[in-house]
Amino acid sequence: MKDVNLQVWAIDALGALAHETRLSVFRMLVKAGPDGMIAGAIAEHQGVPPSTMSHHLATLERAGLVQSERESRLIHYRADYPGMNRLLMFLMQDCCQGAPEMCGNLIAGLSCEPLQPQDTSGTST
């Protein structure tokens, strides 16, 4: 039953990220680190009205990918790193099929440089 609940949660989390604005906000909060950002600054940076951003942030929070904390009249948002790790572990748990070398380069391949878009046209540059 635990695997079923985890799969349902992962579907919700992936669904929350399956929107351009929410994915962008989540990535921005991950980059912001543990300090996170104030809701108004997030909305301004994304060019989205505050009421719309509030909806997006609530969706990410319900999915377990973002945490909020009220500070006086401001709401501070941070990436939920344990939630992000849980989602990544769920996606990777069956990767190796008993052969860890299949996935060994995944962590080694991470860098702090932005990813470049993949060429899906089938032509080489």
pLDDT single digits (tens) 82-121: 999 999 888 887 777 767 677 767 666 666 555 455 555 5
Question: Does residue 125 fall inside a structural domain?
Answer: no
Average pLDDT over residues 26-40: 95
How distant, in Å, are the alpha carbons of 29, 35, 52, 111 from that of 32?
A: 5, 6, 21, 16
Question: Does residue 41 fall inside a structural domain?
Answer: yes
Q: What phi and psi values does residue 63 have, to the nearest 5 degrees?
A: -80, -5
Question: Does residue 108 fall inside a structural domain?
Answer: no
3-state secondary structure at position 79: strand
* Amino acid 117: pLDDT: 52
* Dihedral sign (CA 102, 104, 109, 115): positive
Question: Does residue 81 fall inside a structural domain?
Answer: yes
Question: Does residue 32 fall inside a structural domain?
Answer: yes
Where residue 77 sits, what CATH number does that domain have?
Answer: 1.10.10.10
Question: Does residue 106 fall inside a structural domain?
Answer: no
* Amino acid 109: pLDDT: 63
How distant, in Å, are the alpha carbons of 29, 30, 122 from that of 110?
A: 18, 14, 25
Question: Does residue 117 fall inside a structural domain?
Answer: no
Question: Does residue 103 fall inside a structural domain?
Answer: no
Boundaries of domain holding 86? 2-97
* Amino acid 125: pLDDT: 42
Q: Mean pLDDT check: name the lowest of 27-31, 78-82, 109-113.
A: 109-113
Q: Which residues of 102-125 are buried (b: 16+ CB within 10 A; e: fewer)?
A: eeeeeeeeeeeeeeeeeeeeeeee
Average pLDDT over residues 13-22: 97
User: How much is the mean pLDDT over the chain?
Assistant: 85
Number of domains in the chain: 1
Going along the chain, which residue ranges are E strands? 37-38, 66-71, 74-79
pTM: predicted TM-score of the whole model, two decimal places: 0.79
